[in-house]
Amino acid sequence: MPLTLVADNEFAAAHLASGRVKIPGVEVVATASGPLYPRAISEAPYDVMVVPLANFVIAKDLGRPVTGIPVFPDMFFPHLGARVANGAGINGPKDLEGKRVSTRGFSFNPAVWLRGALVHQYDVSIESIEWLEEEPNSMSGVGYPRSSRFSISKGGKPDEELKSGAIDAAFFGRGGPEPVDGSHNLFADPLAEALAYRALTGIFPPNTVMIAKDSSLATNPHLGQTVVDACNEAWEIYCEEADDSDDHTGMPIKFLRENGMFPRRNGFVEAYAAVDTLIHYAYEQGLIRRLWAPEEIFVTGVV
């Protein structure tokens, strides 16, 4: 019986979903992974799955029997997804202090990344912000730490609340939402802020990551390398065929090429600094109890 792997029909993963790139001994299930996120953490219904990177780090801290494979289906900068209500009096990141900010979930990967950037790039006191989270979200039903340093309550739909003025700002996913009436970008030039973050940290943040069940890895010791090899083949096709005018999570391919972020490869060495940074952010924000080293939670030895 073949192993199973979930692949979204987008970016490089589209070549896995279509069958153009084969993974020996693995059956690819072409389906949107987003609805599977909570199940991936609580049930692990497939051998290899895609989840938000922050969700995976939290899952490992909770003792879930999954391990990361250093494949990152989509990369992004969280700066592109931050929007503020026109009448909120927010002209820059520091103005978020004391405001009501909505996210899809407190552990929402873009929110974890952006909170980290707010602290380390802009010296914002994220504990002074009133956080609201939408339900359902990618960690619905999964119990994880909530630090008493943060005020967290349930919110509604961020786009509707921005329009009504019920919230002051919202952090959306990947490249951000379509324009929301009554709101504007937190950053006047989000791509410039993204480049400033990259200059500060040296990283291109991953949004999602592939994970495998520990039992599947134990009985298939070469699974990690097999998946990385296939995904790198898919990335090579994607990078070669992508047009400059194409978009990757809100960023033009031309922009990524001009700034040395495209083409790229998967692998543990390439992603180490980014994963380590996200782990530190999650720890600082009270989402995990232990400061893990990347090699403790990922398949190592893959190239």
* 28-42, 65-79, 95-109, 201-215, range with the lowest pLDDT: 28-42
Residue 281's pLDDT is: 98
The 10s digit of each residue's pLDDT in 101-133 is: 999 999 999 999 999 999 999 999 999 999 999
Domain 78-200 maps to which CATH number in 3.40.190.10, 3.40.50.700, 3.30.390.50, 3.30.70.100? 3.40.190.10
The 10s digit of each residue's pLDDT in 172-198 is: 998 888 888 999 999 999 999 999 999
Residue 178's pLDDT is: 81
Across the chain, what does the average pLDDT equal? 95
Q: Which CATH class is domain 3-75+204-297?
A: alpha beta
Q: What is the mean pLDDT of residues 242-269?
A: 95
Residue 207's pLDDT is: 97
- Among 266, 265, 261, CA closest to 249: 261
The 10s digit of each residue's pLDDT in 40-73 is: 988 999 999 999 999 999 999 999 999 999 999 9
Q: Is residue 280 scored above 90 in pLDDT?
A: yes
Q: Is residue 303 scored above 80 in pLDDT?
A: no
Q: What is the domain partition of the chain in residue ranges?
A: 3-75+204-297, 78-200
Is pLDDT larger for residue 268 or for residue 229? 229
Q: Is residue 279 scored above 80 in pLDDT?
A: yes
Hey, what's the torsion of the CAs at 234, 59, 155, 125, to 10 degrees? Answer: -100
In this structure, the number of other CB atoms found within 10 A of the CB of residue 43 comes to 10
- % pLDDT > 90, the chain: 87
Q: One fold for both 3-75+204-297 and 78-200?
A: yes
